[in-house]
Each structure stands twice: as C-alpha cells, then as structure tokens.
Copies of this chain bind each other. A is one copy, B any other.
Amino acid sequence: MSDQFETTIHDIAKKLNISASTVSRALKNNPIISEATRKLINDTAEEMGYRPNTLAANFRTKRTNTIGVIVPLINRHFFSSVISGIEEVAYKKGFTVTISQSNDLLEKESKIAQTLFANRVDGVIISIAMETTNFDHLKLFTSKNIPIVFFDRVVDEIKSHKIVVDDFGGAYRATRHLAEMGSKRIAHIGGPLNLNIYKNRQAGYLKALSDLGLNNDESLVINNNLTREQGIDAVQKLLNLSEKPDAIFCANDTTAQSVIFHLKNNGYKVPDDIAVVGFSNEPFSEMVTPSISTVMQPGFLIGIKSADLLIEQILNKQKEIEFQTIVLPTDLIIRESSVRHK
C-alpha cells in the first residue's frame, strides 16, 4: 500500500561494481559505452526493476519534454481535431501534451500561461481567446526563449511561427459560388473583427463582391459572436430589410445552421429563396437537411504542422530561426444549402 523502494542508477552501479555515470550513459544508449557493458547494465536494470526518475532528469536538464496547448474550448470539433493532431505528433516524438482551455477569457488564459511557464513547458501552442488583446502573458515565454506556435487565432505582435488557414480564399470562393448560383444580394454574418480569421473572411467576401461587380450594401453585413442565438437575431434583421438578401455567407457553421433553421421556420426555402454557406465544416454540417455548403479547414493537419514546427524549434534552440507563417489551404465543400435546382 505504501510507496515502494525505487532502484536508482546508483543501486545498479553498486551491484555491478561500476560507476553511476556509466550506468547513466548506458541507459541513455550513449554510443561511447561498449556494447557489452550496455547490455549488462540494461539487463541488470530490468532485473532490478529500475525505472528512470523523469522528475530528477527534468530537474537536472531543465527540460520537461512537455508542450503546453491552450485553446478556447476543448469541446469544439475544430479545436479537438487540432489537439488530436498535436497529440499524435508529440507522442511519436516523445513529448507529453498538457492541455488547457481559456474559455475565451483573457484572465484564465493569462493564469494558464503562468502555470505552464512555472511548470517549465518546453514550448507552447495556442489559439488565443476572443477577449485577448493584450499579450503580456505570452511575452513570458518569448522573453525566456521558449518557443510559441500560434494557430488559427494568431497574434501579429509576437514573432513566432504561425499556422493559419486561407480564410480569405475560402470566403472569396464561397461568395463567388453563391453568385454563380444566381445570387445577387449576398449578405454576410461575420465574427468579431479583432480576430484575424474573421477579418480575413470578411475581406474575402468583400473582395469577391467587388470582383463580381456586386455593389456592397453595408446593411447586408452583420458582425456578432456567431452563437446560435445571435445567428437567429442576425438573419431576422436581414429579413426585415426592404431589400432582402438572396444568399447569406456565414462565418461559421453554427450560425449557418441557425440561419437555415430560422429561414425554414419562416417559410423560406433554402437554397431556392435564400442560399446559405457556412465555414468550418463541422461534422453536423453534412448531416443536417439541407446539408450545409461550407469551407473546410484542416484541423488535424494544423495540429500536425504546429507540433512539427514547435518541436523542431525546441530541439534546435540555439539556431536563429526564420519565423514562418504557414497558410494551409481551405476547401469549399458544396452541399445542398447553396445549390439551386432551378
């Protein structure tokens, strides 16, 4: 019941009448140790039930082989996909992943950062909270030369690797697609513009409109936090316009779904009366009726790339690094909610 005795490298050394350093080297497969002694040591270690004390090693080396991940909310498909990708890479490379959620609150994000810092994570992967506009808590890491990789919601002010998706291009193609389906008055329900992702989606939408020669009517653009309730409010506002839209490009799928729901409830046909495109390709979007056209973001791949870049940086800390911003492609997935039958 009580914690047992633990064998250390010293115990092994004593038993074999060799030094602890040799044991230490042998166990880490240091090539300087002869094959014979290595084998002897490994066998004895196993026989004695030796288990390395990671805590001691971490303490000694000042490294933890741990990477910290901060996301707004674990329980969101996009983020859990990213985490899944991070975890996969990290696991393969012998890193442990510590995950925290900011709940989109700056204060919590800041506390988490301090905890991770105190726990000496070797690096951080983060998508910042909606609230976050001050980045002092992240400068903790950069000031100590601890690498950060941003994804999705990135911070321009901090020099680091960044992984984003082509929000602009995705939004641009979505908007053009709506036009190609015969829409003339294309509305947009967007997110908070302090976040680049939403700014870029909106920019893509606007650029498409101007390229298409459609006049940009400001009453057709509504920005909110993209919740289900706000989606309903927004679409109702659009329906109250004297000139209603004939298409709506929503900056996420949740909004698209609530928009479609509200339209159907009010006797509008989707896509025939009003076509809808969302963003993110949440799992539900292909399952609902009508299935939702949307823009796919490769969450799992983002996770893979983020972890790859971070770990590379951790392992090559001395090197001067040229920071890159990787833009992963988005894909327009055309489904029922935007394809007119007439």
- A residues whose Cβ falls under 8 Å from a Cβ of B: 1-4, 51-56, 58-59, 62, 64, 66, 73-77, 80-81, 83-84, 87-88, 91, 96-101, 108, 112, 115, 117-120, 143-145, 257, 283-284, 287-289, 300
B54 x A120 contact (CB < 8 A): yes
User: Across the interface, which residues of B come within 8 angstroms of A53, CB to CB?
Assistant: 120
With A4-B144, A56-B59, A58-B59 in contact, is A96–B84 under 8 Å at CB? no
Beyond contacts A54-B119, A59-B59: 12 other A-B pairs, Cβ-Cβ < 8 A, are A3-B144, A3-B145, A55-B58, A56-B59, A84-B101, A91-B108, A96-B98, A96-B100, A98-B98, A98-B99, A284-B284, A288-B289
A-B contact pairs, 28 of them (CB 8 A): A1-B145, A4-B144, A51-B117, A54-B120, A55-B62, A55-B119, A56-B59, A58-B58, A59-B59, A66-B98, A74-B74, A75-B83, A75-B300, A76-B80, A77-B77, A83-B99, A87-B99, A87-B101, A88-B101, A91-B112, A97-B99, A97-B100, A99-B99, A257-B287, A283-B283, A283-B284, A287-B287, A288-B288
A55 x B120 contact (CB < 8 A): yes
User: Across the interface, which residues of B come within 8 angstroms of A87, CB to CB?
Assistant: 74, 99-101
- In Å, the complex CA distance between A77 and B59 comes to 37
Instruction: Please provide the 5 A-B residue pairs with the shortest distance between their CB atoms, ordered closest to farther.
Output: A289-B289, A284-B284, A59-B59, A75-B80, A75-B84
Task: Indicate how many identical chains form the complex.
Answer: 2
How far does the Cβ of A252 sit from chain B's closest Cβ, in whole Å?
14
B101 x A119 contact (CB < 8 A): no
- In Å, the complex CA distance between A143 and B64 comes to 25
B91 x A51 contact (CB < 8 A): no
User: Across the interface, which residues of B come within 8 angstroms of A4, CB to CB?
Assistant: 143-144
How far does the Cβ of A118 sit from chain B's closest Cβ, in whole Å?
5
How far does the Cβ of A299 sit from chain B's closest Cβ, in whole Å?
8
How far does the Cβ of A302 sit from chain B's closest Cβ, in whole Å?
13
How far does the Cβ of A135 sit from chain B's closest Cβ, in whole Å?
19
User: Across the interface, which residues of B come within 8 angstroms of A118, CB to CB?
Assistant: 51-52, 54
User: Across the interface, which residues of B come within 8 angstroms of A84, CB to CB?
Assistant: 73-75, 101
Most central of A73, A74, A145 by chain B CB within 10 Å: A74
User: Across the interface, which residues of B come within 8 angstroms of A83, CB to CB?
Assistant: 74-75, 99
User: Across the interface, which residues of B come within 8 angstroms of A81, CB to CB?
Assistant: 75
Residue of B58, B62, B64, B288 near A287 (CB, 8 A) is B288
- In Å, the complex CA distance between A73 and B300 comes to 12
User: Across the interface, which residues of B come within 8 angstroms of A144, CB to CB?
Assistant: 3-4
Most central of A64, A75, A88 by chain B CB within 10 Å: A75
